Amino acid sequence: MLPIESTPPGSPRSPRRRRLLGAGAAALLSPALAQGAGTGAGSGSRSGSGSGSGSGSATKTAADRTVRVIGPWELSSLDPLRGGYLFARMQVAETLVDYDAQARPIAGLASRWQGSGDGLAWRFALREGARFHDGSPVRATDVVNALRRALHPAGVLGQAPIAAIDAVSDAATDAKSGAVVRIRLRRPFPALPALLSHSSTQILAPASFGADGAVRAIVGSGPYRIVTLEPPQRFSVAAFDGWQGPAPAVRRASYLAVGRAEMRALMAEAGQAELAYGLDPGSVARLRRGDAVRVHQQPIPRTTALKLNAGHPLLADPRARQALSLALDRRGIAQAVLREPSLAATQLFPPALAGWHRADLPALAHDPVRARALLAELGWRRGTDGVLARDGKRFALTLQTFPDRPELPVIAAAIQEQLRLVGVQIRVAVGNSSEIPLGHRDGSLEMGLIARNYGAVPDAFGAIAQDFGAAEGKAGEEGDKGGDKGGDKGGGKSGGEGGDKRGGDWGAMGWSSPTLTRALAAMSSTADAARAQALREQIAGALHDGLPLVPVLWYQQTLAASPQLAGVSIDPFERSYRLTDLQWTR
């Protein structure tokens, strides 16, 4: 067992400490959200009741009650390019294409679509009668303007070889004139519908934008509309009466960003939140022992990995990267930090990423003896202080990470200790998630511990192409951090001024593979399923051998839900909180 605490020092354990933190949590809430805009589920008189079933809830109707969602992700921007994922998760804004839990494309704002025989044009027929929350109709020209805006480098749509986006009339789709969006391509790109499901491509009404083109309000077309908006911490929504689908049973909901995982667990336990996302393992174990909440867990296509600067003199030789990988006791870390040894990563892509996970790849091993031998081959010799040295230089590196995901600093401490045992000195620097993409771009990053979400777009090709290949144009994003810091928004610039010109913010740095480059290029245009699968396997194999990222752990999302809600589930792609599936049980 590793000498690591499963929760940070000072984690609340006593009842008194929990009550104090619960009171602090209540103080965080604005009157509108604490009371559910006057409609909270037993809010007010229920505060501190523990079970959340105080007398106040008995007098509330379903229409009056609010589902309070809390998570670690702040609303950093109203712009879909940088903060859109929260509005997508709360079902306020829509994209043309949606996906189900099996990663199959389904209708979004587009009711149907089709590609041309040569693969160079796609037509998307808009849902008939769709309206924005201000009552205005959703027009093809609005969609065209939104998608053209989404071609910005901060989005993912720039990965596609798009030649033009325009509105057309199209008898072939049986859609009304002006209700069809056409996208013309410079070459076939079968993954286009997947990119059009990303939150950066969500469609907002013209009223959302100011005269300068900046997003000033969120006027979407989803089943919920914005009621209050208080970035960066909170917003609330109500059911949109103009929604064409079934009327949701949950009529009101709110979102609050709460930074500490322990605080989120305590708020759920105290009945101050109906849905609490992103819990620490210690809290999960405690909550499972009680009956105040129901704990849900779902494997998701996210990997915690070491991003290595393969251009750094200490890491340029693949044997050095292999040695670092061999030094890691992944099962020990998974058991100590996540309390689930099966989450030890045996390769970069987890089993949840169908098509990309290769069961035939040899598992990444823990072999510190072999690690020391590889480092010795490279000329490293242990000094009197136990640190390796060569030509008068010590094997010392800085590992950067961030606390947005509470387990990352703890994992970094474990890695620091395990690398010390093979003579590598690591300094852990915990800062902002933005420091990793900035370090990638200016070349200063040595190592980064990240949590990369390969399911931000259900077809993982987009994220993988950004991370390990050259994008079509300026594809990328501010960093796939945000709503899941360290790898979620789905982008990442390829290279940057003064920095590495290959890979993306959350992918390779100073590393390339001809095999992978050819496979990515071929996969972007193939429509043959068998050929695409063979290319996925080539890509996975090249990454497994080259180790531009050293996988550490796979991931599962955790959720504490009120027993007063039925229909609760976790979206494995983290696209939606599935509010429309929920019902009050009492």
Going by pLDDT thresholds of 50, 70 and 90, the confidence category of residue 91 is very high
- pLDDT for residue 524: 86
Q: Tell me which CATH homologous superfamily contains domain 299-557.
A: Dipeptide-binding Protein; Domain 3 (3.10.105.10)
Pairing relationship of beta strands 252-257 and 66-71 according to DSSP bridges? parallel
CA-CA-CA-CA torsion sign (388, 390, 393, 399): negative
Q: What pLDDT was estimated at residue 215? A: 96
Give the pLDDT mean for 380-391: 97
Give residue 220's identity as a one-letter amino acid code.
Answer: G
SS3 assignment for 477-523: CCCCCHHHCCCCCCCCCECCCCCCCCCECCCCECCCCHHHHHHHHHH
pLDDT given at position 59: 54
Range 467-476 average pLDDT:
55
Residue 448 confidence (pLDDT): 98
Compute CA distances 22 → 38, 258, 405, whole Å. Answer: 20, 12, 21
pLDDT of residue 132: 98
Per-residue confidence (pLDDT) for residue 499, from 0 to 100? 38
Helix (H, G, I), strand (E, B), or coil: what is residue 414?
helix
pLDDT-derived band at 4 (thresholds 50, 70, 90) equals: very low
Decide if pLDDT at 508 tops 60: yes
Structure tokens at 341: 């040894």
- Calculate mean pLDDT across residues 482-490: 43
Share of the chain above pLDDT 70, in %: 83
Computed over every residue of the chain, the mean pLDDT equals 86
Domain boundaries, the chain: 15-89+222-293+562-584, 97-208, 299-557
- pLDDT the model gives residue 406: 80
Confidence (pTM): 0.80
- Determine the Cα–Cα distance for residues 314 and 310; give it in Å rounded to an integer: 8
What residues contact 112, with CB distance under 8 A and at least 6 apart? 124, 125, 173
Distance CA 36, CA 51 (A): 18
Comparing C-alpha atoms, which of 458, 555, 435, 455 is closest to residue 505?
435
Rounded to 5 degrees, what are φ and ψ at 171?
-65, -25
Going by pLDDT thresholds of 50, 70 and 90, the confidence category of residue 354 is confident
More confident residue, 533 or 462: 533
- Of 141-150, 315-324, 326-335, 500-509, which range is least confident? 500-509
What pLDDT does residue 547 have?
97
Q: What is the pLDDT of residue 170?
A: 60
pLDDT value of position 580:
98
pLDDT attached to residue 463: 86
pLDDT band at 176 (very low <50, low <70, confident <90, very high): low
Question: Residue 68: what pLDDT?
Answer: 99
Q: Are strands 583-584 and 565-566 parallel, antiparallel or unpaired?
A: antiparallel
Residue 9: is its pLDDT beyond 50?
A: no
The type of residue at 19 is R
Indicate if the pLDDT at residue 431 is higher than 50. Answer: yes
Average of per-residue pLDDT across 492-515 = 68
The CATH H-level superfamily of 15-89+222-293+562-584 is: Periplasmic binding protein-like II (3.40.190.10)
Instruction: Work out the pLDDT band at 323, boundaries 50, 70, 90.
Output: very high
275-296: pLDDT as tens digits:
999 998 889 999 999 999 999 9
What local confidence, expressed as pLDDT, does residue 459 receive? 83
| Per-residue pLDDT, 60 | 67
What's the confidence (pLDDT) of residue 471? Answer: 44
The pair of three-digit structure tokens given for residue 271, joined into one six-digit string: 């009945």
Rounded to 10°, the helix 318-327/368-377 angle is 160
For residue 160, give both structure tokens.
């596609």
User: Which residue type, as a one-letter code, is found at position 337?
Assistant: V
Q: Which CATH superfamily is domain 97-208 in?
A: Dipeptide-binding Protein; Domain 1 (3.90.76.10)
DSSP state of 6: S
pLDDT at 41 over 90: no
The whole-number average pLDDT for the span 540-565 is 97
Q: Summarize the confidence of residues 43-61 as an average pLDDT.
A: 42
Mean pLDDT on 480-508: 51
